[in-house]
Copies of this chain bind each other. A is one copy, B any other.
Amino acid sequence: MYERLRAYFQNKLAMSEAQFEAIKQVLTPKSVRKHELVVWQGEVERHGAFVVKGCLRSYVVADKKGKEHIIQFAPENWWISDQHSMLRGLPAMFSIDAVEDAEVLLFGPDFFPLLQTLGSDFQAFFHTLLQNSMAAMQRRLISTLSATAEERYLEFLQMYPTLVQRLPQRMIAAYLGVTPESLSRIRKELARS
């Protein structure tokens, strides 16, 4: 389990054995079954995860209608968490669950203070990670504001070509912000050409 994390850090961040041990201390390996929840929207006691195998997602149930909206997919080698709420001890803004059976390394609120002690390379690394997420989020917002559902679907195909086969369509629809019916129509239309 931990080997995958070490491999992930290769070429990204120079790390001593002691540092890696310290990180292992605050990470708990866990198998998560498909549909199993890792975080409940609204709960205070909770975790984030590094995905070793399988795929998780974070999502909110926003509407009175109970409609789901997916914020992020996290396949292998992705981090997923609600940092904002976690660090402040606030109720989680969204839920996290497994889209496929998965192997993850869970971390709690103590993960971030630990990073502080591991030196500025670590801080910089995770800061960069956050910046990348932010940039991705901005691009997605713009796309949601300015592009049609079909254009967004094509962008999604480009961005996550491997995920498309692994995810049920209703989840892609929930990510794009359209109904499964609409996505079905879009795919039909694209197939015609």
Contacts and interface: CB of A to CB of B under 8 A. Distances in A.
Interface of A: 60, 62-63, 67, 69, 71, 83-85, 87, 93-94, 116, 120, 123-124, 127-128, 130-135, 137-142, 144-147, 177
16 contacts: A62-B146, A62-B147, A67-B146, A69-B142, A69-B146, A71-B142, A84-B135, A87-B128, A94-B138, A120-B123, A127-B127, A134-B134, A134-B137, A137-B137, A144-B145, A144-B177
Contact of A141 (B71, B84, B116, B123): B71
Contact of A130 (B124, B131, B141): B131
Given A116-B120, A116-B124, A130 B134 contact: yes
A87 B131 contact: yes
Contacts of A120: 116, 120, 123
A67 B143 CA distance: 12
A67 B138 CA distance: 16
Contact of A142 (B60, B84, B123, B146): B60
B131 A83 contact: yes
Number of copies of chain A assembled together: 2
A152 to B, nearest CB: 11
B131 A84 contact: yes
A107 B71 CA distance: 32
A144 B60 CA distance: 13
Contacts of A62: 142, 145-147
A90 to B, nearest CB: 10
Contacts of A94: 138
B132 A84 contact: yes
Given A144-B145, A146-B67, A130 B130 contact: yes
A72 to B, nearest CB: 9
Contact of A144 (B124, B128, B141): B141
